[in-house]
Amino acid sequence: MDHYSREEWHKYVKNELGDADRKAYEDHLYICDHCLEVYLEAMEEEEHALPAMPREDEFTNLVMAQITVDKVKEPPVLNVAEEQKEAFAHGTWFERCFPIAFTCLLLIGGLVKMLEGTKSEAEKLEKD
């Protein structure tokens, strides 16, 4: 029985064979335990040689990191939302009262200046 070489099985694993060859290799696998073993070894070796494996790990790490970040982020986000609600309530209260208070201060300040002005004028008049 003719056996396929390890190199040939590597080609098979890497999909470097024509359809006819692939079929012949597959048929041989059904009847040859020796080549099945070589084929499985070749497949394992190619899997380790594939650069996609570390990338897959990286991707998994990335996904895991994303999940971890999301998990960590979630509670503070809720807290922030509530804080913002509170801040908004304070803000509306402050926003309502601030213009009134500011106007009052301006009026008082204006009145004080007016009174001071009239006072000094009155003093001037008194001196004259």
- Kindly state the smallest distance separating residue 29's Cβ from Zn ion, in Å: 8
Q: Tell me which DSSP letter residue 17 carries.
A: S
H or E element in which residue 107 lies: helix 52-127
Cβ atoms of 4 and 28 closer than 8 Å: yes
Nearer to Zn ion, 27 or 95 (CB): 27
Distance of alpha carbon 127 from alpha carbon 93, whole angstroms: 50
Q: What Å distances lie between residue 118 and 16, 87, 90, 128, CA to CA?
A: 104, 44, 41, 15
23 binds Zn ion (CB under 5 A): no
- Kindly state the smallest distance separating residue 34's Cβ from Zn ion, in Å: 5
Q: How many residues belong to the chain?
A: 128
Binding piece for Zn ion, criterion CB under 5 A, among 12-20, 35-43, 77-85, 115-123? 35-43
Binding piece for Zn ion, criterion CB under 5 A, among 3-11, 19-27, 82-90, 115-123? 3-11
Nearer to Zn ion, 35 or 42 (CB): 35
Q: Which of 9, 13, 35, 39 is the binder for Zn ion (CB under 5 A)? A: 35
The binding site for Zn ion (CB under 5 A) comprises 3, 32, 34-35
